[in-house]
Amino acid sequence: MNFSNVFVIIFLGGTAFSVLLNFFLERIDFTFRQKHGREIPEKVKDFVDSSTLDKTCRYEDAKYFLWIPSVLLDTGLSLYLVWCGFYPAVFNRVWTWTGNSFWAAFFFLVIVSVPGAILSVPFALYSEFGIEKHFGFSNMTLSMWIMDTLKSLFLSLVIGLPLLGAMIALFKYVPEFWWVLLGCVYVAFSILISIIYPIFIAPLFNKFTPLEDGELKTRLESLLEKCGFKASGLFVMDASKRSGHSNAYFTGFGKSKRVVLYDTLIKQLSIDEIEAVLGHELGHYKHHHIVKRMCVMIPLIFAVLFVVSFLVKLPYLYEGFGFVTGGEVPFQMMFVGVFLLGIVFEGFSDLSDLVSNFFSRKDEFQADAFSKKICGTGAPLISALIKLDKENLSEIQVPKIYSAFNYNHPPLLERINAL
């Protein structure tokens, strides 16, 4: 590793920035929680008691104390792998083994992900079977956890291999304009995944059953019709077999759109409250939030790929991390350049999260306002939000700077005040 290389300097600076920023933010939240976490705000005093807030604080503290060693070890591993020349050693070995650009890229990406995956396993297990089970959320068994991990790995391969193959082929056959075509492939593939996800992918992990006939179904169908939202059905997901956390969401694209309610949500909320939650989700649809986000993200994808197309051709990028290019970057190494740029700028992702969260929270306020309008009152959504925060042991009060970086939904009290 060349410490005078500008890309290495950016990598080290970004890593330090991310670690220091997140330790600062988490410490602020922890300190705030110790001082105010057990205080019952006036607006929720009829719904929340001191024992719930005490349990919430203990739950958040447990996650915080697990986060500290996780981040320290993950950061240490990231720095060590760069410092010891792990990445060029792996590339040289897989290229010698395969002599094929696609398989070299595949085995390189698999092998370099192994150290981080191994490190994450004990933390993931403790989070699931230590913290989540202790606080009454997790219903997972070890065999279920292993199967979910294997299914996720399989899906990563199924989704990732075509994209990897397309990228390598474009590097080789369209070296000047690969970034344009890759952007088109990525966007088209993302839309395809959103279409097939509810039909083929989601059922690999959960069972989805049509919502039973009754007042709830009648009310929700009437609400959908009122808003002009055409869905392929209302479905209940057996979320409780894994976790006590609750949610509701829209999924799919075009004719595959469907409304999904967690079975835990149906147990925790009244019909009026579930209707208000669905009204919130319909607010995203009526305000075209997904379409607007796509109109921002698609040009951004092409802009990033355009910049990447220049940077991956710079031998200086590779040489800083110990790769030998011979003064010119062959197409067989360009995927390595994409990978290196990922780790170089990863430390600054908190800044993009800050911007993304700002606009996401703005959308959430709009969706809340739509729910209030369509339901005629904001009262059921307010009580639903309070119940969901209570059931999920979410913090009611958080420092503004912490929520700015970490919350893509507004904190509870802000949403109540707006409603």
First vs last C-alpha separation in the chain: 54
252: left (phi > 0), else alpha (psi -120 to 50), else beta?
left
Q: How many alpha carbons lie under 13 Å from residue 328 in its C-beta half-sphere?
A: 2
Between the CA of residue 285 and those of 54, 257, 279, 291, what are the distances in Å?
Answer: 37, 11, 10, 9
Q: Which of 60, 273, 368, 414 is catalytic?
A: 368
The DSSP letter of residue 138 is B
Q: Are 170 and 178 in contact (CB under 8 A)?
A: yes
Q: Which of 132, 275, 281, 364 is catalytic?
A: 281
In a 10 Å sphere around its CB, with 0-12 CB exposed, 13-18 middle and 19+ buried, how is residue 135 labelled?
Answer: middle
Residue 74 annotated to the active site: no
Residue 319 annotated to the active site: no
Backbone φ and ψ of 407, nearest 5°: -110, 120
Q: Are 320 and 310 in contact (CB under 8 A)?
A: no
Name the percent of the chain in helix, strand, coil, to the closest 5.
75, 5, 20
Q: Give the helix ranges, DSSP H, for 287-397.
A: 289-311, 315-319, 334-345, 349-375, 379-391
Q: Look up tokens 């829209």; give the residue.
A: 250
d(CA 377, CA 372): 5
d(CA 275, CA 234): 12
Which residue type does 380 have? P
d(CA 199, CA 315): 45
Query: Looking at the annotation, which residues are catalytic?
Result: 281, 368
